Amino acid sequence: MMDFQNEQDMIDFGEELAKHLFPNTVITLEGELGVGKTTFTKGIGKGLGVTKIINSPTFTIVKEYQGKVPFYHFDAYRLEGENEELGFEEMFEDGGVCVIEWPMYIQDILPDNRLEIHMTKNKDQTRHMTFVAHGQQYQQLLKEMNICCN
């Protein structure tokens, strides 16, 4: 669990997290609208060497950026009830990093091994994150960063 005082803290943490990521990393971000999922993703992108502006892929579903590795930013919100083949599985396995907002809408295609991050906004506008590691690599990642997980 971690708490963040402001957006810059979340960006800084995302940048630090990126240093520990590995090929085929999948991170899911769960939380209400406005909790900071895209802000946090900007930090991950920055840590991966992405120089383009990262913004929400709400209308495009997924945006691809190039940094040290391919970086995919998904917004699955508009996919609720969709069952068509979208080719996401190939992106999960091409050696890059995938960050998925609103993962509940594509739950059936998510890899078993992934890092779930649950984000909430506190009454004082600070943010809180909890982490659930699925798979040994993700458990090791959290251990390396001294992050407690559920």
Which pLDDT tens digit goes with each residue over 53-63? 998 877 788 99
Domain at 14, CATH number: 3.40.50.300
Which pLDDT tens digit goes with each residue over 2-30? 889 999 999 999 999 999 999 999 999 99
> Does a structural domain hold residue 150?
no
| Domain boundaries, position 32 | 2-80+87-106+117-144
106 contacts 88 by C-beta, under 8 angstroms: yes
> Does a structural domain hold residue 39?
yes
AA identity, residue 107: Q
Secondary structure of residue 130 in the 3-state scheme: strand
Extract the tokens encoding 101: 């907002």
pLDDT of residue 149: 63
119 contacts 37 by C-beta, under 8 angstroms: yes
Secondary structure of residue 19 in the 3-state scheme: coil
Backbone angles phi, psi at 25, to 5 degrees: -65, 135
Percentages helix, strand, coil for the chain (3-state, rounded to 5) are: 30, 25, 40
Total domains in the fold of the chain = 1
> Does a structural domain hold residue 137?
yes
118 contacts 30 by C-beta, under 8 angstroms: yes
- Edge to edge, the sheet with strand 70-75 lists 2-4, 127-134, 114-121, 25-30, 97-101, 70-75, 62-66
Place of tokens 């997290």: 17
Secondary structure of residue 51 in the 3-state scheme: coil
> Does a structural domain hold residue 149?
no
> Does a structural domain hold residue 111?
no
> Does a structural domain hold residue 31?
yes
Does the structure show a pLDDT above 90 at 64? Answer: yes
pLDDT grade for 80, boundaries at 50, 70 and 90: low
- Backbone Cα Rg of the chain: 14
